[in-house]
Structure 1
């Protein structure tokens, strides 16, 4: 009996061995990586994509479809989005980068924290080779002059999102229906805007006052107080990296020490003292600001955020023509302060930089791919409306909004974008999503400041400006009374040293051109 058992066991081992050899032999000829970098045995690399915002109700269902399409297209990549609330974005992202947490792709907002800031911290991977190998569609659908803005020392450290014409900086939205209701003309100067706003505020019958919708900051690009700059004799100029005034002659100055900063602050002071900004402006969260705009309780929006759907919530008779675009001094030059506004980058701690690039390239490989990522599942989240139109399908269990909507500011592209032909604002579409042939780039649009040699001072002035300069710039404190002490604190924090280093680097940058 024991001999029989032993014999049977030996036979089983031989059979198992033969099966294993057969399996290994069959795989050995197909285990090599294909031209697309996909393992033929079906191995898929999972990447984590970190973005600001709140997870959509149907995110899991949509990205299951995204990953199925990625697999069907043999990309060899699976994507998981990781959402971070907007008000915690900077703090949480910086912590993830500093602690070496593993993720593979993250969103960049150039007007908030430019990619050069992450580069200077050593947080960005060089993705030049990956773009060369796997970025065919990225290079096809993102113009060279915009893509070049993501380079440092001729190497790519980000992928721009070509979703907006940056020369739109300097315009604002206004409610023309409210102008008509109050027998007002469209304002052509900042003082006319304030006067009209006072009248609107006095006559407003809604539950929520149409305050200036913004959270507090000291950066005019972030706040879009750049609308004022077209009214100054010194325009065109831009403010880079929050602290540096740069005009088209290449002159660099400390922004907060300019007359232009003072004029901005005085305008904001008028808004505040006349009750046109929320009395709690210094502690307003972005979610509160978004809620105000989404409810249609606004008169002026610096930037473009109006839509007919939100306007109709409290104004059922509203039409798309009730929101208009205004430029002060529209005959002046149109300036792009940055070549691109948003983008995505790969952190140095990513183990899958090539897969991150493959995913971004795949999104622009077809309209079908783009639609799935940006608009969700056709027939459930949207229906097409002609070649470039879209009709959202609202979900009653999701606040009567689609259960899924991607973010084109995060990874959109004008070559694939669809528009809600019924609810989107025609003037906004033209300004934002059509190239302005008369626009020019700022001479500093592609300049990347490296604060390594003044890192301590740069960190200190950012912290000090948030505490001392923001209340002045937002108009809560009077410039003449508060600015001298605030400037003294900024000088002690190292402002002069940082500005001098910026000037030195910018002069070297211009000399290379």
Structure 2
């Protein structure tokens, strides 16, 4: 697969160069001189990003970053930060009303839906003209994630290890050792960790996000290898047979939610935190959460925040049933999209390309000013401020990655070798077109949120709520949606031949 990837990247770069040559003077956009002051008129690029803005985040954008962008691209970044808790709602309001934003970030699962709703524009021509450095530094297979109907709809900005993403568990390693344990490998281990720490200090919360993380438990409670279709948690694929499973009507669903139900009874899931993302984040930031859903590199990403609350805090990620295979469903969960209503789509692509044009640009936009925001020593980076700038995890790239000095070497090693012996998921590259069943899907999701989420959370017992919940879901159109997903997935498999050997 690496050889095919390399050839694909080379071909894309060659196409870009040939097209640039054909357009002639005035369209040599990927040359350094074209980024300077006179090549393009000055613009303000309007961008939406999630984040709880700190003083340094705003100061950096308004001063050092915009000074560099004025020099290199003759543009200024007008960056709107939206707090994480409100990001999806406010982003989709802006997209649906046609506000003139030029660029925004969201996760891979949202690309297909935003395309179907007409919120975003295809990027093929923009990538060919202005994206040579993106193409050179992001594997071609990553771009395939966002190819729908033979068009490119987003830039998969992260190019790093990704197998088993969101199926690991992130643990406070220092507290695990304080409880007399060394590692996590089973559900019993997680329960013992909570019980032992709760006996030491009842102020700590056992915690596994109740709005996701079901497939963390699957690794142990079934001998099969399932991958969740998407974040809606309705369907899953059997990686061994390629069959699609209606998860909410499966025995696996019952097994999973009964564990969640028992965790509420034991106090591992705290009912005061369920359904309150802000409260959960507050407890994590205060250093009071024992474990949560991992994401391959979340131990590294959250290390500084954890130590801000507790200087002795250390984190590590584990997989239940660690000998079971890990699957690569999406090598990048990060997607930058250009809205259909964007006033400056070309400049948005130039800006994205500029980030990966050199390690200097990459380090600058992510970490800020060397000597002021960070310092380098022995090949590692030490941050001098607690304020993140552009989120590093959104842009993490193997070609430019610099490990942080504060993180244990074992954690970095876990992350760099996470994909060793990983398998490609049968879902890789599959996009569900919602249009044929959009009305039924809307009804199903409404019922799912009302009836199934309380069961998922362990707040309503399986015996108490399941029969009525599944009846309501089927009445809303679950079978119709499942049949459409299954037909589309089968057509995808036939077209690709599973194409992932």
TM-score, normalisation: structure 2? 0.85
Contact 2:273 2:280 in 1 (8 A): no
Which entry has the higher C-alpha Rg, 1 or 2?
1
For 2:67, the equivalent position in structure 1 comes to: 68
For 1:179, the equivalent position in structure 2 comes to: 176
Does 2:141 align with 1:145? yes
Contact 1:344 1:411 in 2 (8 A): no
CA shift, 1:329, in A, is: 1.8
Among candidates 201, 204, 208, match of residue 209 of structure 1: 204
Contact 2:184 2:319 in 1 (8 A): no
Q: 1:49 to 1:311 in 2, by over 3 A?
A: closer
The separation in 1 between residues aligned to 2:273 and 2:120, in whole angstroms, is: 34
Contact 2:160 2:398 in 1 (8 A): yes
The separation in 2 between residues aligned to 1:101 and 1:314, in whole angstroms, is: 39
CA shift, 1:339, in A, is: 3.0
The separation in 2 between residues aligned to 1:392 and 1:177, in whole angstroms, is: 22
CA shift, 1:54, in A, is: 1.9
Contact 1:168 1:431 in 2 (8 A): no
Q: 1:294 to 1:425 in 2, by over 3 A?
A: farther
For 2:420, the equivalent position in structure 1 comes to: 437
Deviates more, 1:328-337 or 1:425-434: 425-434
The separation in 1 between residues aligned to 2:401 and 2:54, in whole angstroms, is: 20
CA shift, 1:192, in A, is: 3.5
For 2:263, the equivalent position in structure 1 comes to: 271
For 2:334, the equivalent position in structure 1 comes to: 342
Contact 1:165 1:431 in 2 (8 A): no
CA shift, 1:312, in A, is: 4.4
CA shift, 1:272, in A, is: 0.9
The separation in 2 between residues aligned to 1:315 and 1:47, in whole angstroms, is: 39
The separation in 2 between residues aligned to 1:283 and 1:229, in whole angstroms, is: 22
SS of equivalent residue, structure 2 residue 55: coil
Alignment of 1:376-395 (within 5 A): 376-387=368-379, 389-394=380-385
Does 2:237 align with 1:246? yes
The separation in 2 between residues aligned to 1:84 and 1:314, in whole angstroms, is: 24
For 2:218, the equivalent position in structure 1 comes to: 229
Among candidates 474, 478, 497, match of residue 457 of structure 2: 474
CA shift, 1:458, in A, is: 1.1
CA shift, 1:164, in A, is: 4.2
Q: After TM superposition, what 4+ stretches of structure 1 lie above 6 angstroms from structure 2? A: none
Equivalent residue pairs, number: 458
Contact 1:161 1:409 in 2 (8 A): no
CA shift, 1:310, in A, is: 4.4
CA shift, 1:229, in A, is: 1.8
CA shift, 1:233, in A, is: 3.6
The separation in 2 between residues aligned to 1:432 and 1:181, in whole angstroms, is: 24
For 1:294, the equivalent position in structure 2 comes to: 285
The separation in 1 between residues aligned to 2:284 and 2:58, in whole angstroms, is: 28
CA shift, 1:33, in A, is: 3.1
The separation in 1 between residues aligned to 2:310 and 2:443, in whole angstroms, is: 47
CA shift, 1:413, in A, is: 2.3
For 1:136, the equivalent position in structure 2 comes to: 132
**Unaligned 5+ runs, structure 2:** 1-24, 497-501
CA shift, 1:290, in A, is: 2.4
The separation in 1 between residues aligned to 2:57 and 2:173, in whole angstroms, is: 36
For 1:398, the equivalent position in structure 2 comes to: none
Deviates more, 1:344-353 or 1:126-135: 344-353
CA shift, 1:314, in A, is: 6.1
SS of equivalent residue, structure 1 residue 94: helix
**Unaligned 5+ runs, structure 1:** 1-31, 218-222, 395-400
Q: 1:374 to 1:76 in 2, by over 3 A?
A: same
SS of equivalent residue, structure 1 residue 166: coil
For 1:46, the equivalent position in structure 2 comes to: 44
Q: 1:358 to 1:268 in 2, by over 3 A?
A: same
Q: 1:312 to 1:86 in 2, by over 3 A?
A: closer
For 1:193, the equivalent position in structure 2 comes to: 190
TM-score, normalisation: structure 1? 0.83
The separation in 2 between residues aligned to 1:445 and 1:339, in whole angstroms, is: 9
CA shift, 1:383, in A, is: 1.6
SS of equivalent residue, structure 2 residue 403: coil
Contact 1:160 1:342 in 2 (8 A): yes
Contact 1:163 1:433 in 2 (8 A): no
CA shift, 1:212, in A, is: 0.5
The separation in 1 between residues aligned to 2:238 and 2:75, in whole angstroms, is: 44
Contact 2:162 2:419 in 1 (8 A): no
The separation in 2 between residues aligned to 1:135 and 1:309, in whole angstroms, is: 33
CA offsets 1:154-176 (integer angstroms, 9 cap, x no match)? 22100002254221422222234
The separation in 1 between residues aligned to 2:250 and 2:408, in whole angstroms, is: 36
CA offsets 1:113-133 (integer angstroms, 9 cap, x no match)? 431111121222010011111
The separation in 2 between residues aligned to 1:448 and 1:72, in whole angstroms, is: 40
Contact 1:168 1:432 in 2 (8 A): no
For 1:120, the equivalent position in structure 2 comes to: 116
